[in-house]
Each structure stands twice: as structure tokens, then as C-alpha cells.
Homo-oligomer: A and B are copies of this chain.
Amino acid sequence: MRQSTLFTKTRKEAPKDEVSTNAQLLVRAGFIHKEIAGVYSLLPLGLRSIKKIENIIRTEMNTLGGQEVELSALQNREHWEASGRWSDEAMDVWFKTELNSGGQVGLAPTHEEPLSSIMADHIQSYRDLPKYVYQFQTKYRNELRPKSGIMRGREFLMKDLYSFHSVVEDLDVFYEKMSDAYTRIFDVCGIGHLTYKTIASGGSFSKFSHEFQTVSEAGEDIIYVDEARKIAINKEIYGDDILTELGLDRRNIKEHKAIEVGNIFKLGSRFSEPMSLNYTDEASAEHFVIMGSYGIGLGRLLGTVVEVLADDKGMKLPKSIAPFEVHLVSIGSGDKVLAESERIYRLLTEMGVEVLFDDRDKTAGEKLADADLLGLPTRIVISEKTVASDTFEAKDRMTGETSFLTEGELMNLLGR
């Protein structure tokens, strides 16, 4: 894409009311726009990143046999009354609104109730199980003081998968598969090395649940990490008992702030009971379906990548989730520079490389500063100097390494 046609512009300064690094950088780079506190719109660059994250997650969910749906945001209060979660005392983040025809509906903060209700229409027998159903869907949570940018919003896109099983053993097996999928997702998104599977409190059904926590000073959680074992414990359950249970030594544990980028939870029959989600076994006896839930906030994941990888010049985006792989920066207005820039832009685009081509009428300083801010993985500069030496200046935004490459070497670098 030609940057001259992109409608968003960068900003030198973040808006004063943005206190989080992720929102400051994403707003400055034109990835997002703040509508109100905790509510952001996705602009073209931000949407491209979110769609890439979505596809990384979708691939993993489909591999596990997930079936994609998209449930409504407006919620029938009856379902939530059945589970005891309609009242603001039980769930303090509800947004509720009134129908013109009378009656109240809620804006879904999560989807256990409505999906369990749908599944009750379709599951009758043990032969209908297991099933895995997921969606990418907007959640609404009436946060009192959202101040973490796109990491904790009032409106945010989430992948939530719910699994439905006849027996606990089957849930246990799937839960581990999903845990592995989550590990792969965070690896692919470039934060695997900072992300720990973290033991957290469970519910009435299971003693523990698991969170995926990424170490960051911007985190709202405190975790205790055993680096060697690559596991962590959430502060809420940290203590001698759990250390003993896991065979961990307090001397090997480090305390970190961390961002919860995903969670997996064994729900048991917490929701199948109130929603009458039953199945009959081979002997025609009725049982409640056993459930698990598995969430990842897509905006939060992008925000976390920005928080943990950025430097003082801007973002550093892994290729997997960057809106474009290459930032092609044309410096100077000479005919040769322009012609060579156009040629390389066309060549890379035809090769299937996603290129943002900075063809704007700006100074070298402005263009290079914008390239650092946007943080695309590979910056290629074409200038009088590179044209004269028949090379390309390529900079790896993640490592900061700059190299002068021949055309063949450049093609090698981009893996084609």
C-alpha cells in the first residue's frame, strides 16, 4: 500500500489523556482511535494487525476441531437469571439497556450462558459429544476506570472457545491440548519468551485454572515465576502450600508484574446445570454436560506485544502480526530514486510481500521517525546513496541491525 493514500497520519505527541504505553504508541502510529475511555476504534493499520492475530488463533482453534460461530451481543436476561449472574451484584461490569418494546437486555460481558442455551438445542446424547465452539466477538464490560489502553477496555474483541464433554477425563485431555495451542499462539505472536503458564484459582469444579501471563511492568497482576521450570503462580494463590504441592523451591522464585494474555478454565457443570444442558449416556441415564472455557483478548494481545517489545522510538512488531512486513522508504526526489522505489514496490508486491511504501512528500527525518514509530519488521531505504551503490539499506526493527544488500540478498532476506 502507498502510504500517501493511507488516510491515517502519525502524531508526534500522544494525547495527554493516554497514560498507557500501548495506547500512546498505537494512537500516535494511527493504529487506533479513542472513542471514549476504554473504547477504541480500529483504523486500517490496527485492523490489519488484529486480523492477523485473529487468523493465527483461528488456525489453532480449527486444528483442534473448533466450530466457529458469532453470538449476539444483546442478551436475553432470562439466561443470566437462570445462572444467577444477571444482577449487578453478581456481575458488576454489566452494560444494560431497555427495549423500546419493554424489558431489559444486557450487553454480553462473556458468553457461557447464551452458548450453553444454544447447545441445549443441539446436544442430546453422548454421541453428540465432545464439541468445541468458538467465536471472535465483541465483549462489553462496564469498567470503572479504564486506564490500560487496549489492554482492558469497555468494548473489546475476544476469542472465546467453549468445550463440551460427557466426562471429565475428556475435558482434561482437551484442556491440555488447548494449553499447548495457547503456548504456540503466544510464541507465534512474538511474546512466548516472556509468557508463563500460570496457576491461578479455580472455581467450584476445579481447584486451579491457568492463565498465560506475560511479564511486563505494565501488568496489573503479580506472578511468581520459576524460570527453569517455565511455570508461574498467581499472587492470589501463592504461598507455601502451593509451592510444596508443585515441588517448587521459594529460592528459585522471582516476583514479576504481568499481563494476563489468556486463560483456560474448567467449568464443570456450573453453566450446564442452570441452562439444562444434558445428555443421555449409553444406558439412557441423564447427566449434565461438562464444560471448559478458553479466552484470549485480541486487543490485549496486541497491546501486550507493544508494551513488551517497544523502545523509545516506537513499536517493534513481529512479522506474524505486523500490518505490513516491509516498510519501503523512498528518500530524496531524484528521478532515479523514484524509479527504483517504484520498481521495488511493484516487484515485492507481485512476489506477495506485504509492503507499506512511504511515497509521501516528507523529509528523510520524518519518514524514518515514522518507520520507527510504526515498527514494521523490515525497513528498506532507497536513497541517492543506495541507488548509486546498487544496494538496498535494510534495517531489522527488532534487532536494530542495518545491512546493505544486493537485490538478490534482499530477496533472500524476505524469504522468496
A interface residues (Cβ-Cβ under 8 A, vs B): 5-9, 30, 33, 35-37, 39-44, 47, 50, 65, 67-76, 92-93, 95-101, 105, 107, 114, 118-119, 121-123, 128, 131, 133, 138, 140, 142-145, 154-155
Q: Which of A75, A121, A143 has the most CB of B within 10 A?
A: A121
Say whether B72 contacts A41, CB under 8 Å: yes
**Knowing A44-B68, A69-B47, A95-B97 touch, does A105 contact B36 (C-beta < 8 A)?**
yes
Say whether B118 contacts A33, CB under 8 Å: yes
**Knowing A7-B122, A97-B95, A119-B7 touch, does A71 contact B35 (C-beta < 8 A)?**
yes
Residue among B39, B42, B131 making CB contact with A7, cutoff 8 Å: B131
Residue among B41, B72, B96, B119 making CB contact with A69, cutoff 8 Å: B41
Q: Which residue of B lies closest to A114 (CB)?
A: B35
Say whether A133 contacts B70, CB under 8 Å: no
Q: What B residues does A68 contact at CB under 8 A?
A: 44, 47
Q: Which residue of B lies closest to A30 (CB)?
A: B122
Complex alpha-carbon distance, A101 and B105, angstroms: 20
Q: What B residues does A123 contact at CB under 8 A?
A: 7
Q: What B residues does A36 contact at CB under 8 A?
A: 74, 76, 105
Given contacts A37-B101, A40-B72, A41-B71, 7 further A-B contacts (CB under 8 A): A5-B65, A6-B67, A33-B118, A35-B74, A39-B105, A47-B69, A74-B95
Distance of A83 from chain B, by nearest CB (Å): 15
Complex alpha-carbon distance, A128 and B128, angstroms: 56
Complex alpha-carbon distance, A144 and B100, angstroms: 6
Q: Which residue of B lies closest to A71 (CB)?
A: B41
Distance of A221 from chain B, by nearest CB (Å): 22
Q: Which residue of B lies closest to A142 (CB)?
A: B100
8 A-B pairs, CB-CB below 8 angstroms?
A: A7-B67, A7-B119, A7-B123, A35-B74, A42-B71, A44-B69, A73-B73, A74-B155
Complex alpha-carbon distance, A84 and B228, angstroms: 61
Q: Which residue of B lies closest to A42 (CB)?
A: B70
Complex alpha-carbon distance, A214 and B155, angstroms: 35
Q: What B residues does A33 contact at CB under 8 A?
A: 118, 121
Q: Which residue of B lies closest to A65 (CB)?
A: B5
Q: What B residues does A71 contact at CB under 8 A?
A: 35, 41-42
Q: What B residues does A140 contact at CB under 8 A?
A: 73-74
Say whether B118 contacts A41, CB under 8 Å: yes
Q: What B residues does A119 contact at CB under 8 A?
A: 7
Say whether B99 contacts A142, CB under 8 Å: yes
Q: Which residue of B lies closest to A99 (CB)?
A: B142
Q: What B residues does A9 contact at CB under 8 A?
A: 121-122
Nearest 5 CB-CB pairs, A to B?
Answer: A41-B71, A42-B70, A7-B131, A35-B72, A95-B97
Say whether A74 contacts B105, CB under 8 Å: no
Complex alpha-carbon distance, A96 and B98, angstroms: 8
Q: Which residue of B lies closest to A111 (CB)?
A: B41
Distance of A405 from chain B, by nearest CB (Å): 31
Complex alpha-carbon distance, A226 and B280, angstroms: 60
Distance of A132 from chain B, by nearest CB (Å): 9
Q: What B residues does A133 contact at CB under 8 A?
A: 7
Residue among B73, B118, B145 making CB contact with A101, cutoff 8 Å: B145
Distance of A207 from chain B, by nearest CB (Å): 29
Complex alpha-carbon distance, A5 and B67, angstroms: 9
Complex alpha-carbon distance, A39 and B71, angstroms: 9
Complex alpha-carbon distance, A121 and B32, angstroms: 12
Complex alpha-carbon distance, A39 and B103, angstroms: 14
Q: What B residues does A6 contact at CB under 8 A?
A: 67
Complex alpha-carbon distance, A155 and B155, angstroms: 16
